[in-house]
Amino acid sequence: MAVFSIFTKELKHNTRNLKGMILMVLFPIILIVVLGTALSGMFDRSSEFKDIRVLYKDPGDKPLSQAFAEFRKHGTEMGITFTKTESSEQGVENIKNRRYTCFVNVSDEGLELTKTDWSALKANLVEAVLKTFVERYKTVAVVAQVNPQAVPQMIKNSQAGDFVQVSSLGEKPRPRAMDYYAITMLTLITLYSSLTGVYAIRNEKTLKTAGRLLCAPVGRYELLLGKALGALFITLIQVLVVLLFSKYLLKTYWGEHLGTIFLLVSAEVVMAVSLGIGVAFLLRSEAAISGVLNMVIPILVFFGGGYIPLDGFNKTVLLIANASPLRWINTTLMAVIYANDFSSVAAAIGFNLGLGAVFLSIAAYAIRREGALL
């Protein structure tokens, strides 16, 4: 009964701070919209093949030149921009300076390709297209020696299709920018719910009620449990509102396993609130608590992939990221939503609940001392 009374008291304290509750809901929603719109190009797969600039040298009097002219027409349709140069040295220099993706030199011996290493994906695409073109040119040249009358029909059939056709079987869906930031901003604001845990402890000092609580017929562990449950419940309500708002009004994709998703986020809520409670007992100064949390949370969010995806970073960064509880939650959410992969669900929940247990143990040890709330 005492736990329920403390739990009810915490709910009343939090709901009276209506402005704070609204901000905790509006802040992630605004971030989802702003980041999802502004960074949509990062998640557009077609953007990987945009802005492909090819520099070429073609004397124009070679047998290969006419065929290469036709190739450029098809390349332009694919989004490749061709620019002519008169100097091979200048062409190679432009590649070194990263002004162009590739340099193609047309000669009697064939096509000589110089490609960049700073945009390997685009360069490899150009190389693949050129290889296809060269193979077709060789085929036409051989047929011309044996049966010249068949060449016009071969050229016509060749021009009717694309140089490269790519198809994929069973390709997994990928998140849009809005989908990605719906997940990461939800888990980000959940991490900031550690402040709710802090206020659950520090408010008693601010409101001058700590002494009254300690004198009441309420066990210290009951007091701690009631406060923790109150902070957890309020945070879960805020998380649920953000999740449902993003799903049904912003039309972000959350997959078909909302129950599992809510369990994962709930585990993070337990960890975050416990972190706040633990820090509130470890540090007595308001400035110290604020400074520590404002330093730790952005670091955890960064290594959790909350600001930008970490896939392109080196192995050292990814190794450090594995220590972030947010990384475990975010990657598991992505796996469940986009691959129906539940293999890491138990580990992610266990890791976050384990950290939560550590911080609550710190608080439980501290509350045994007389005046721990004071």
Give yes or no for a contact between 163 and 243, defined as CB atoms under 8 angstroms apart. no
Q: In 10 A of CB 365, how many CB atoms?
A: 12
> Of the given ranges (27-31, 288-292, 295-299, 314-318), which has the lowest mean pLDDT?
314-318
Paired with 104 in beta bridges are 56, 113
What three-state secondary structure class fits 200? Answer: helix
Closest CA to 199 of 13, 26, 25, 6: 13
Mean pLDDT of the chain: 78
**Whole-angstrom Cα distance, residue 186 to residue 31?**
10
pLDDT value at position 163?
44
- Rounded to whole angstroms, the Cα distance separating 254 from 337 reads 6
Give me the pLDDT at residue 241, please.
Answer: 92
Segment 303-317 mean pLDDT = 77
Q: Give the containing element (helix H, strand E) for 106.
A: strand 102-107
Give the C-alpha distances (Å, rounded to integers) separating 210 from 145, 206, 237, 284, 355. Answer: 98, 9, 27, 14, 27
Residues 266, 352 contacting (CB under 8 angstroms): no
Angle at 241 between CA 239 and CA 242, to 5 degrees: 65
User: Residue 167: its pLDDT value, please?
Assistant: 45
- 326, 300 Cβ separation under 8 angstroms: yes
**pLDDT by residue (tens digit) across 142-169?**
655 666 655 455 554 544 444 444 444 4
| Percentage of the chain exceeding pLDDT 70 | 76
Q: Tokens representing 232?
A: 């957890």
The arithmetic mean of pLDDT across residues 121-130, rounded, is: 76
| Strand order from edge to edge, sheet including 102-107 | 80-84, 52-57, 102-107, 110-115
Residue 260 has pLDDT above 70, yes or no: yes
Contact criterion met (CB below 8 Å) for 70 and 63: no
Name which of 191-200, 236-245, 254-263 the model is least confident about: 191-200
Compute CA distances 228 → 141, 205, 292, whole Å: 79, 17, 20
pLDDT at 172: 55
- Is residue 76 scored above 80 in pLDDT? no
Residue 311's pLDDT band (cuts 50, 70, 90): low
The H or E element spanning position 81 is strand 80-84
Of the two residues 59 and 55, the one the predictor is more confident about is 55
Residue 290 or residue 254, greater confidence: 254
Specify the pLDDT at position 349.
Answer: 95
Q: Are 2 and 10 in contact (CB under 8 A)?
A: no
CA of 293: how far to CAs of 19, 38, 193, 303, 356, in Å? 21, 28, 11, 15, 15
Q: Would you state the pLDDT for residue 270?
A: 94
Mean of the pLDDT values across residues 62-77? Answer: 72
pLDDT at 213 over 80: no
Comparing CA positions, the residue from 305, 27, 325 lying closest to residue 184 is 305
Ranking 117-121, 150-154, 241-245, 294-298 by mean pLDDT, the lowest is: 150-154
Question: Would strands 80-84 and 52-57 be described as parallel, antiparallel, or unpaired?
Answer: parallel
- Report pLDDT for 89: 84
**Across 106-110, 120-124, 164-168, 232-236, which has the greatest mean pLDDT?**
232-236
Q: Are 125 and 50 in contact (CB under 8 A)?
A: no
The C-alpha atoms of residue 107 and residue 345 are separated, in whole angstroms, by 58
Which of 20-24, 53-57, 86-90, 212-216 shows the lowest mean pLDDT across its residues?
212-216
Please compute the mean of the pLDDT values over residues 284-308 and round it to a whole number: 84
Its pTM stands at: 0.65
Highest mean pLDDT among 38-42, 67-71, 103-107, 241-245: 241-245
356 or 112, higher pLDDT: 356
Is the alpha carbon torsion for 261, 267, 273, 279 positive or negative? negative
pLDDT tens digits for range 22-50: 888 888 888 888 888 877 665 655 444 55
Q: Are 356 and 332 in contact (CB under 8 A)?
A: no
Q: Which pLDDT belongs to residue 332?
A: 93
Q: What is the CATH number of domain 50-160?
A: 3.40.190
How far apart, in Å, are the Cα atoms of 311 and each of 21, 140, 269, 315?
A: 34, 44, 25, 10
